[in-house]
């Protein structure tokens, strides 16, 4: 598993911001004020929270202001190096090529005028796994159906990226390039240092060759390319970071979806394949009710199946993506999902040994809830934890949440809970939604 602290992040920040001219006359887009902070601070905080420490900023317009503000990054606990566009505009690909001597063998590439809140651990995991199988780059993609811009990616049903082409759309394109990619440095070696080109040329060629893998993401991106989109992001920041919101933390298996029979162990278990995932009756409607009552919804779930060797981590990610996309079709937006894939001891079937560790995110430890608290402004006094096990109730109580136990609270569970008792008991998620 790739450690974010060891992986370089390259940021394209050289744009002129012509559509934001009233805001960018005096500063570059990345420094445009959003609620009292430069825009890129929000993305940099997000990446730092995921553990990234090494950055290269590709700067052009008002480059001196960016370098003066961020410096070498030392005061933020990170390292920042700079590459300068020069007088000739080189395009996205040319700007990366110009920084060639600063690049490491593999790097994450993002845009300095976009806010992209995704699971970056999944990004690095998928890139590392698929690079070993011949991939040379990874593209994050969002099911778009021409919502935010014209869709430009064809995805196969098995999750493979079949084609990227932003110039020649075809009816099969339902996804769009999200704006976070990972590349081999060697992909840029054939270009001359002052050659202008679009990085989309590399992306298209790799997709045709089958050398571009993908990560499907489910949360929309924000960008500040126009006054309207800047205002949209400003409103998002006010709601997410400045206003304390009530939230409901929901366990997954047995609460949202059915537990399934596992022939290998001859007992009920979490789904280990996408095809095994089935929503419990009324679950989507219950989640919709919770949203309509004004709560954020965070799914917090222990999923040790890969650590135990029952499946792989990629499949666990795929199951979560399937769930969130299908809930979206039902009009239910999940604000975020936090998963613990760890298990404390190695078993005979364990293959992905990096998942074996004692952690603070496996419930009943409250680490998953703390992660949500670091990312969002949550009013704990009016928030809840809903789950069907004593570990859910214990985790929720540890941070001061009111708790709802799903099912019958039998005597053996009472003994496990000891002094921690649920605030409410409900027969199912629909019943819990009515109690809030």
On whether the CB atoms of residues 306 and 352 are closer than 8 A, the answer is yes
**Rounded Cα distance, 70 and 357, in Å:** 36
On whether the CB atoms of residues 24 and 125 are closer than 8 A, the answer is no
Nearest one of 201, 12, 184 to 110, comparing CA atoms: 12
On whether the CB atoms of residues 383 and 249 are closer than 8 A, the answer is yes
**Rounded Cα distance, 229 and 223, in Å:** 6
Catalytic residues: 251, 253
On whether the CB atoms of residues 81 and 107 are closer than 8 A, the answer is no
Indicate the helix (H) or strand (E) that contains 178: strand 175-184
On whether the CB atoms of residues 74 and 55 are closer than 8 A, the answer is no
- Compute, in degrees rounded to 10, the torsion defined by CA atoms 280, 282, 283, 285: 160
Helices in 27-119 by DSSP H: which ranges? 39-49, 63-70, 91-98
**Rounded Cα distance, 235 and 256, in Å:** 30
């Amino acid at each position: 598993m790739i450690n974010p602290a060891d992986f370089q992040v390259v940021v394209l920040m050289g744009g002129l911001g012509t559509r934001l001219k009233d805001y960018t006359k005096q500063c570059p887009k990345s420094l445009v004020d959003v609620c009292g902070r430069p825009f890129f601070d929000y993305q940099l905080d997000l990446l730092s929270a995921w553990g990234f420490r090494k950055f290269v900023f590709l700067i052009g317009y008002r480059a001196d202001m960016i370098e003066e503000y961020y410096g070498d990054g030392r005061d933020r606990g990170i390292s920042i190096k700079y590459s300068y566009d020069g007088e000739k505009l080189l395009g996205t690909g040319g700007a990366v090529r110009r920084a060639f001597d600063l690049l490491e063998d593999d790097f994450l590439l993002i845009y300095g005028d976009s806010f992209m809140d995704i699971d970056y651990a999944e990004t690095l995991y998928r890139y590392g796994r698929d690079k070993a199988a011949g991939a040379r780059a990874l593209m994050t993609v969002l099911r778009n159906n021409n919502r935010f811009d014209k869709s430009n990616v064809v995805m196969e049903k098995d999750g493979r990226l079949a084609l990227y082409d932003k110039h020649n759309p075809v009816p099969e394109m339902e996804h769009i390039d999200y704006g976070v990619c990972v590349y081999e440095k060697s992909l840029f070696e054939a270009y001359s240092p002052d050659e202008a080109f679009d990085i989309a040329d590399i992306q298209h060629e790799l997709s045709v060759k089958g050398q571009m893998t993908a990560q499907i993401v489910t949360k929309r991106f924000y960008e500040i390319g126009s006054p309207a989109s800047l205002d949209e992001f400003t409103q998002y920041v006010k709601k997410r970071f400045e206003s304390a919101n009530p939230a409901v933390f929901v366990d997954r298996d047995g609460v949202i979806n059915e537990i399934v029979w596992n022939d290998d162990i001859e007992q009920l278990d979490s789904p280990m394949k996408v095809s095994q995932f089935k929503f419990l009756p009324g679950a989507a409607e219950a989640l919709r009710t919770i949203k309509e009552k004004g709560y954020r919804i965070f799914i917090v779930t222990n999923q040790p199946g890969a650590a135990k060797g029952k499946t792989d981590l990629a499949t666990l990610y795929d199951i979560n993506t399937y769930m969130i996309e299908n809930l979206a079709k039902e009009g239910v937006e999940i604000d975020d999902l936090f998963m613990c894939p760890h298990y404390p001891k190695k078993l005979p079937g364990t293959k992905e040994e990096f998942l074996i560790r004692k952690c603070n995110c496996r419930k009943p430890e409250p680490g998953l809830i703390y992660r949500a608290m670091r990312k969002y402004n949550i009013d704990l006094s009016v928030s809840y934890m809903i789950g069907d096990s004593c570990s859910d109730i214990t985790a929720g109580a540890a941070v001061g949440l009111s708790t709802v136990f799903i099912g019958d609270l039998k005597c053996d569970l009472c003994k496990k809970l000891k002094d921690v008792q649920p605030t409410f008991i409900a027969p199912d998620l629909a019943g819990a939604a009515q109690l809030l």
